[in-house]
Amino acid sequence: IQEVFPDQQPIDRTSMNSWEDENFLAAVKKTGRKKLVMAALWTEVCLAFPTLAAIKDGYEVYIVTDASAGTSVEAHNMSIQRMIQAGAIPVTWESVLLEYQRDWARQETYDAVIEIAMQHGGAYGAGVIYAHTMFGGHEGA
């Protein structure tokens, strides 16, 4: 993540709930946005706790279910259900990527999105290569 966002300083914290960390919360508030896209490596704690707190504080939270993981499949699934019941909106990494792109005519992000889809998109990535080649693009990014 640091390679993709080199200007972002990691927030060192002790709390399991990032929403309880003053520096984290200040960074979120500084953006001025009320929609959050969140993922975490410990679904039932590091994703669930801040998601539930953010919803309570009036944020609209999108949880990236396939970019998160729990200590077990059961723990992950139950935590996802808990967050959905509280108002979180479940999404996948591909839906987030393509929602940000929105329009293939948007050239400033086109090549990067194509590259990500081809590298990580499985069957969708293969379809992107096909469409990209058939409709005047070039294979590869």
What are the DSSP calls for 24-43, one per residue? HHHHHHHHT-SEEEE--SSI
Q: Are 92 and 65 in contact (CB under 8 A)?
A: yes
Kind and range of the H or E run holding 64: strand 60-64
Q: Which of 28, 39, 40, 46 is catalytic?
A: 46
Task: Provide the total of helices (H) and of strands (E) in the chain, helices listed first.
Answer: 6, 3
For the chain, the first-to-last Cα distance in angstroms comes to 21
Give the residues across from 61 on adjacent strands.
Answer: 36
Query: Is 46 labeled as catalytic in the residue annotation?
Result: yes
Catalogue the active-site residues. Answer: 46
